[in-house]
Structure 1
């Protein structure tokens, strides 16, 4: 029962954070949306920041697992890296939208640095530790394009979008 309430709180918070922003959403609004008291919400989450961390932590954990799998691979297949990167972003696009809208809040929580470090690690996988500027820019554009496509084209069929985004990333990488 408590787990169910906690999940309901997370879903309501996701919806309100995505629609209104983290800073403009009060814990009272979340409680009201669910028909629970604010103290009941505090039983599960000590603060709005705690609630936000609980929403974002699964994204962070999944991103970390994806990177570690790629780094353990015997060889790097750029297409497979881009496909996995797309799949990760597609699966978490709702929470990524919250991240994008709330960079200031997330920076305060220390989460923005994690996301930037992921991109740097993926770039090293794809083009080495010290690539020439033109190659570093290509990988940055390719990764950004994949991430942006999962948000920009939400109504596109996933398999078609994945193919288009990965093909574009491969072409950009050169």
Structure 2
């Protein structure tokens, strides 16, 4: 049964990408799968339930990433930016999907969730009472990291990570020290 559910998610993702969520019916998904509509509804009660199942790993992963850093006594900005890049790189296909279906995803609360993550990340990177400039720098840095994984999909991951994280550090005013210059990989602030 897990295989069937996974196949439904894959086909739904394909159809949603091809024609959009609002223009894709449950009937079309069932037809492409070669199953009956009741069989599809056995696994997912609605199109919204199906959509939420597609983006749930992205939502859970983002929450886990943040929670893991919030428990640390000291946050290394370079490490956090690198982990943030890696998370978005792993989920880059879903990120493109999310960007194309923003209005639908507003209804699922994903936009509010992402905005709350940004607020938490601002606190992690600047402290509890950031200035407007500090907050703007974090938003530029994080948005830039996300955009890089979408914009430069054909660039090898390691090369893109270095370029994107270096640019994010520059936006934050952090001098990124290359590992060969500083064995700890820690940023110089």
- 1:168 — aligned with what? 167
RCO comparison, higher one (Cα < 8 Å, 6+) = 1
Superposition deviation, residue 164 in structure 1? 0.6
- Indicate if the aligned counterparts of 1:18 and 1:97 stay in contact, CA closer than 8 A: no
Q: 3-state SS of the aligned residue for 2:73?
A: coil
- 2:63 — aligned with what? 64
| Count of matched residue positions in the alignment of Structure 1 and Structure 2 | 173
- Indicate if the aligned counterparts of 1:21 and 1:98 stay in contact, CA closer than 8 A: no
Runs of 4+ in 1 over 4 A off after TM superposition: none
Q: 3-state SS of the aligned residue for 2:16?
A: helix
- Indicate if the aligned counterparts of 1:59 and 1:92 stay in contact, CA closer than 8 A: yes
For the pair 1:19 / 2:15, whether they are aligned, the reply is no
- 2:148 — aligned with what? 149
Q: 3-state SS of the aligned residue for 1:22?
A: coil
2:16, 2:96 → 1: CA distance?
Answer: 9
Structure with greater Cα Rg: 2
- Indicate if the aligned counterparts of 1:83 and 1:166 stay in contact, CA closer than 8 A: yes
* Map 1:24-173 → 2, pairs under 5 A: 24-173=23-172
1:155, 1:21 → 2: CA distance?
Answer: 24
Q: Which has the higher helix share?
A: 1
- Indicate if the aligned counterparts of 1:12 and 1:34 stay in contact, CA closer than 8 A: yes
2:93, 2:27 → 1: CA distance?
Answer: 22
Computed over aligned residues only, the root mean square deviation of the Cα atoms, in angstroms, reads: 1.1
Unaligned regions of 5+ residues in structure 1, if any?
A: none
2:115, 2:136 → 1: CA distance?
Answer: 15
TM-score, structure 2 length as denominator? 0.88
Unaligned regions of 5+ residues in structure 2, if any?
A: 174-189
